[in-house]
Structure 1
């Protein structure tokens, strides 16, 4: 993934941060990507707390007890583009095991500052094809899209963080490992859901006003991560704070009652974020 991102943005600067549980590879100051990170985390033979055991039991309908030994591995990534016309991409895949039980989770979602219908259709169509090529259930894409829309939501704002994608958790199907690998392989593929959008939007000129709007939308991104994201709540400790929050964009803005005028592209974007669309037939 890092090689693919470097090929897309040769000017970017990369820093490797090795730590006890994995590696965070941070990108900054590129022509395409202003900030980003690709991270691997591995936990082996951990011990579940009562709170985490209860949460897993509730989600998976399996009896998991405090003190059970577990292992977990996750690959996560986020790329914040410099241009406000290029969306942010976020994704992850993760595997969690307790004894002989194994669950997979992950997703891929798009957060544009400006909603472009053709980009959304392309992104979601690519993910729908990926789901159809791995899952025997024709409703998999629709279910994972709905889960994504429900998860990346800011209730205090009445807004979704972006235009979604797919999101899944506690998947124990026999096709789950291959699907997770295919999702990662596709994320930054030249013909995948994201890179064609970057190639199309990155050369376009933008205004300072559009950059300021991007800062405001990034503020919503930070709000979601700090208030609602399960992964941040799960992993945030004094030892991990830098690598957990490294997915934050480099520059954000919080402006009091920043309401765009009717009829503007900004207002049209907010309308979509408040009422998610069905971008492909399913």
Structure 2
């Protein structure tokens, strides 16, 4: 098992939902990212999701779009994102790391090259704009290195499509809470119904992301979703208030999940 598999097993044994923390690599700079990311696991992040900066992040809202632009302006690249993970692993060799990316930057860099260079450093990759029908090649490369291609679904994904995705999904499923961009608004009753619909179809943990902004959202989803992804709220805090305030917010989210069993 890789770090992600081990963490998911631990969460199941503890009978609690896990906290996934998203940040954009190199925002607002490489040193700042390295400093924060190296402390996330200790602060309570169960999984770290690192966005590879891209000039046209069409699925992201204003907060994360701005983070991509800042990171690119600071000189962040795919290669520097790999270097960033190497630095994190010097201080935290336990917390699972998953890349979140668009196709363009990883195809330009070379997908097989990326996977080879991150072997034993990260546990999986989520490609936002890779349709199911084009994923087999990526899965083969990742599986050979004991890594996961993280599958995604949306509120509009029909049952037949969910079943197709579930047939080859590994690691965990990332379900987008609301149609739209990251940082949008949650409709919790509808989301809870959708989670109940998805869970019997998949035999892997279900992560919920997009629009989870505060402790009340986290508490409402605790033990309904297996993993809860917080992105925009943390990215915004990091940019405006710095490392310590961000770690404090991570601790607060983590405590909510540990107390809600």
Richer in helix (by share): 2
> So what's the TM-score if we normalise by structure 2?
0.27
Richer in strand (by share): 1
- Choose 1 or 2 for highest CA Rg: 1
> So what's the TM-score if we normalise by structure 1?
0.26
Structure ranking higher on relative contact order (CA contacts 8 Å, 6+ apart): 2
